[in-house]
Structure 1
Amino acid sequence: MSPLTYQQALDYLYSFVDYSLTRQLRYSPEKFDLGRMQAFLKLLGNPHLKYPTVHVAGTKGKGSTAAMIASILQAAGYRVGFYSSPHLEDFVERIQINQEPISHEVLAALVDEVRPAVARIERLTTFEITTAVAFLAFLRAGVDVAVVEVGLGGRLDATNLVQPEVSVITSISYDHMKVLGETLGQIAREKAGIIKPNTPVVVAPQRQEALTVIREVAEQQAAPWFRVGDDIRYRVASHSLDGQAFWVWKAADQPEVNRWLEGEVEDWRPLQFEIPLLGAHQVDNAATAFAAVEVLRTRGWEIPVEAIARGFQQVRWPGRFEILQREPYLVVDSAHNQDSALKLRLALEDYFPGRKVVLIFGASEDKDIEGMLRELLPKAQMVIATRSFHPRAIEPEALVELVHRLGYPARVVVPIEEALAYAMSRVDENSLVLATGSLFIAAAIRQTWRERFRV
């Protein structure tokens, strides 16, 4: 076989049916088979076991949290691999070394390398092959540690063959219900499937139904678990459109914090960190990242407080409540379920009180579109229904029909370039343009803005 070009490598990867994206499919062992992935990785020499890992699952916030952990580890002097999905604009964003995507040439060479092994394993998916390529890329790059984000669920996810130093479970909410289960408890059980025997797990703030299941699984696995908001406590210190600061402390320090809060001590205060990411939910994610780093520190990792501060300040995670420009305001966000749409609306009310929104909206047809719209429409001046090039994107005409049924004005504008141009022509000093509904919409708007509207 001749060497692959980058485009040929992508065509090859996408030629495999990715069961994790198939509509109406149950999350079943017949389709999501870790034995198949295990056999595949064994043919490649089990690269995922050649370096330490941090494993991050959750419905929302897992990417942000993983990015912060990776940034902190890099700031501490470690060479860090970072695996996440989906990508925003370029496929290689999924596989990064020290916050830089691997090159197109490296990806093509690695895909070429795994093809003989792929030919020996039946029914491998796009995500499974990509995950193995990431594990190989980290080995070839000589990483000291890899931060690995779960693709879907956890228990049967292709990433769940790592043996992590610490597992992390971020906020759990309703998403992929046809795949993961209809109740929060069922979804939480799938996410908690990443918990390994005797391996510490950090748990972000959760609804009680999810927390009960995670506690049960952790106890079954004899896994020490650390609750953010309980074992690790925090609060927002300040926020602006340029970033936000937060205090964080351990439960054992609460008596000292009490004295500080009451002004009884002047020479002590809890740790304060700054992050460039906006929205109160990002402080939840930052506190979760801090807790994971604290676990690593107790396991012998050298991560000075100064490195934690620097890592938080230097994290990059575009497309999440990202302000692309300020005159007029243009914001993109990747909210794609009702809970994330609620967090987005709260962030809008916090950062832009009183402003109405010219809403550019597109989504995948398998999402809770009505739930998202019910959260966002009270802020909307009007809705511009559009679609990305993703094959699962809902038709804009169906979106308009739904928005009208909910009692708000809407119109179809496609393609996305025209949707953005129309939105920018309708915004004024009392409103802003917000593009959301999926990561694909956020990515397309970012790219269009850079190419045609950047001022």
Structure 2
Amino acid sequence: MDYNEAKEFLNRLLDRERAVRPSYPDSLDEYREFLRRMGNPHNGLKSILVAGTKGKGSTAFFLYEILRKLGFKTGLYTSPHLVEVRERVRFNGRCISGRDFGRIVGKIAPHVESVGFRSVFETLTTLAFFYFRERETDYSVFEVGLGGRLDATNVVSPCVSVLTDISYDHTHVLGKRLRDITREKLGITRKNIPLVSQAQSPMVRRYVREFFHGDVFFVGKDEKVEIESISMDGVKFIYRGEEFFIPIPGAYQAMNAATAIEVVIRMGLDFDYKNVKSALKKAFWPGRFHIISKNPLIVLDGAHNLKSTKVLVDNWERVTGESPVILFTAMKRKPLKRMLLELKRIADEFVFTTLPLKRALGIDLLKKKGEEAGLKSKGFGSVNEAWAYVKSLNRPILVTGSLYLIGEVLKEEGLSPCRNIQRIDR
């Protein structure tokens, strides 16, 4: 199977997934049996699991970059992708090649067909297991897809578990109470395995201690993260008495980077902070306060729930002070009106669009919610039209609401994290 054939197979699988509309699994037993039939490719991987509501992708990426700089052969598995599906699987600074992607999907496909159904996410997770095993990774970093306890990534045996900030999202699956959400995410923990968590709210910290009785370290509480400066170029911060810089603006990204640093400490690795600083100085994670132009200012940020939207707005005010036109769309089951009211703090003009996804909100509903929030807005039925319009205004642009929208805009600009990451990294 080549790369295009593999993508076609995944698209067919996705169509079947939409038609079947499988419920969230109540155990990982079936997936474990699926892996057993293929020789348990996940066994033996020295793994780190990263779960949370926001910041888990960035934290996983920072950790991956640090481990690489320390000389370890390191794999990274994240989701969703922005432009190309192979972005999800990386090894030692590169996305998996199209050839390897197609070859491994070709190995997995007959097993998927033989059992009748496995999700796209499970299939891609299995691909990552095979690829990392082939590459003989020293460490494999897995961003949890949804929740934790029943996520496909949770079949591995982590040497460290990581929790980023926990708040409300995917409540139709994880539960409507923070207690329930926290318990689901703590499913990635193991007895006698350290847990590194971001500071969390006092309520979430209480739940963490209620459900997890092992060694837990709260970054930002047990050890402070001090912000020295934030600019368009990035953030300078102090952690454990050392000064670091990351090329992504935002105090929240300093917390994510500090969490990655603490994970390395908890792993008991012998390292020089000089190497950690060097890794973080070059670590750029696209789609997160991602500046693709400075004149006019164009920022792409995948904030897609209420808390991440609030953080984005605070960061925008702190870094720019300008009033942008906002290109926005969102998926269903989001607190849409509240997100729009937050964004209204920094913008006086909104442009709504939609995506060719079943979960995407339509233009009419977006405009209706915009009117309820008192917004001045326009709507376009395609990202192509909407992007052409906002660019014609020749004013600051903020694109947000969905990582899928960020991916479409990157395509419009001819950018891809796998093919021209240097252009993305300004």
Interval containing the TM-score (normalised by the shorter chain): over 0.9
Q: Counterparts of 2:155 and 2:86 in 1: how far apart (Å)?
A: 22
Q: Counterparts of 1:313 and 1:144 in 2: how far apart (Å)?
A: 23
> What CA deviation, in whole Å up to 9, does each residue of 1:253-287 have, x standing for no partner?
xxxxxxxxxxxxxxxxx111111121111111111
Cα RMSD (Å) of the superposition?
A: 2.1
For the pair 1:342 / 2:306, whether they are aligned, the reply is: no
* Aligned twin of 1:323: 291
For the pair 1:195 / 2:165, whether they are aligned, the reply is: no
The 8 Å contact of residues 50 and 163 in structure 2, kept in 1 or not, is answered as yes
> What CA deviation, in whole Å up to 9, does each residue of 1:270-312 have, x standing for no partner?
111111121111111111111111111x2xx333212211221
* Aligned twin of 2:247: 276
* Aligned twin of 1:420: 387
For the pair 1:351 / 2:319, whether they are aligned, the reply is: yes
Classify 1:22/1:226 alpha carbon distance in 2 versus 1 (closer, same or farther; 3 Å). farther
The 8 Å contact of residues 349 and 376 in structure 2, kept in 1 or not, is answered as yes
Which of these residues, 169, 188, 195, is aligned with residue 175 of structure 1? 169
- Structure 2: segments with no counterpart, 5+ residues: 416-423
Matched to 2:235, the amino acid is Q
The 8 Å contact of residues 82 and 95 in structure 1, kept in 2 or not, is answered as yes
* Aligned twin of 2:153: 159
Q: Counterparts of 2:40 and 2:312 in 1: how far apart (Å)?
A: 40
Residue 120 of structure 1: CA displacement?
4.0
What secondary structure sits across from 1:159 in the alignment? helix
Q: Counterparts of 2:20 and 2:373 in 1: how far apart (Å)?
A: 26
> What CA deviation, in whole Å up to 9, does each residue of 1:376-407 have, x standing for no partner?
01211211011233332111222111111111
The 8 Å contact of residues 319 and 439 in structure 1, kept in 2 or not, is answered as yes
Q: Counterparts of 1:194 and 1:121 in 2: how far apart (Å)?
A: 26
Matched to 1:107, the amino acid is F
Which of these residues, 204, 219, 233, is aligned with residue 228 of structure 1? 219
* Aligned twin of 1:60: 54
Matched to 1:245, the amino acid is K
Classify 1:340/1:360 alpha carbon distance in 2 versus 1 (closer, same or farther; 3 Å). same
Q: Counterparts of 1:278 and 1:184 in 2: how far apart (Å)?
A: 28
Matched to 2:297, the amino acid is Y
Residue 69 of structure 1: CA displacement?
0.2
Residue 122 of structure 1: CA displacement?
4.5
Matched to 1:238, the amino acid is S
What secondary structure sits across from 1:16 in the alignment? helix
Matched to 1:331, the amino acid is V
Residue 427 of structure 1: CA displacement?
4.1
* Aligned twin of 1:6: 3
Which of these residues, 349, 362, 366, is aligned with residue 395 of structure 1? 362
Residue 21 of structure 1: CA displacement?
8.0
Q: Counterparts of 2:20 and 2:308 in 1: how far apart (Å)?
A: 21
Residue 17 of structure 1: CA displacement?
5.3
Matched to 2:403, the amino acid is L
Which of these residues, 97, 102, 107, is aligned with residue 103 of structure 1? 97
For the pair 1:440 / 2:404, whether they are aligned, the reply is: yes
* Aligned twin of 2:265: 294
What secondary structure sits across from 2:348 in the alignment? strand
Which of these residues, 50, 53, 71, is aligned with residue 65 of structure 2? 71
- Structure 1: segments with no counterpart, 5+ residues: 250-269
* Aligned twin of 1:247: 238
Q: Counterparts of 2:44 and 2:15 in 1: how far apart (Å)?
A: 27
Classify 1:291/1:184 alpha carbon distance in 2 versus 1 (closer, same or farther; 3 Å). same
The 8 Å contact of residues 73 and 303 in structure 1, kept in 2 or not, is answered as no
What secondary structure sits across from 2:263 in the alignment? helix
Q: Counterparts of 1:303 and 1:121 in 2: how far apart (Å)?
A: 45
Q: Counterparts of 1:240 and 1:18 in 2: how far apart (Å)?
A: 44
Identity within the alignment, % = 35
Residue 102 of structure 1: CA displacement?
0.5
Q: Counterparts of 1:179 and 1:25 in 2: how far apart (Å)?
A: 12
Matched to 1:286, the amino acid is A
For the pair 1:312 / 2:280, whether they are aligned, the reply is: yes
Instruction: Report how many aligned residue pairs link the two structures.
Output: 417
Classify 1:341/1:425 alpha carbon distance in 2 versus 1 (closer, same or farther; 3 Å). same
* Aligned twin of 1:386: 353
Point out the more displaced range, 363-372 or 14-23. Answer: 14-23
Classify 1:247/1:194 alpha carbon distance in 2 versus 1 (closer, same or farther; 3 Å). same
Matched to 1:445, the amino acid is V
> What CA deviation, in whole Å up to 9, does each residue of 1:29-59 have, x standing for no partner?
1xxx311111122222222222211110001
The 8 Å contact of residues 313 and 345 in structure 2, kept in 1 or not, is answered as no
Classify 1:69/1:242 alpha carbon distance in 2 versus 1 (closer, same or farther; 3 Å). same
* Aligned twin of 1:38: 32
Matched to 1:215, the amino acid is R
Point out the more displaced range, 357-366 or 64-73. Answer: 357-366
TM-score, length of structure 1 as denominator length: 0.87
* Aligned twin of 1:333: 301
* Aligned twin of 2:140: 146
> What CA deviation, in whole Å up to 9, does each residue of 1:178-234 have, x standing for no partner?
010001111111111101111000011212222222112221xxx211111222221
Matched to 1:61, the amino acid is G
What secondary structure sits across from 1:417 in the alignment? helix
Q: Counterparts of 2:114 and 2:382 in 1: how far apart (Å)?
A: 42
The 8 Å contact of residues 337 and 372 in structure 2, kept in 1 or not, is answered as no
* Aligned twin of 1:264: none
The 8 Å contact of residues 232 and 287 in structure 1, kept in 2 or not, is answered as no
The 8 Å contact of residues 45 and 156 in structure 2, kept in 1 or not, is answered as no
What secondary structure sits across from 1:245 in the alignment? strand
Q: Counterparts of 1:173 and 1:391 in 2: how far apart (Å)?
A: 25
* Aligned twin of 2:419: none
TM-score, length of structure 2 as denominator length: 0.93
- Bigger radius of gyration, 1 or 2? 1
Q: Counterparts of 1:310 and 1:277 in 2: how far apart (Å)?
A: 15
Residue 248 of structure 1: CA displacement?
0.6
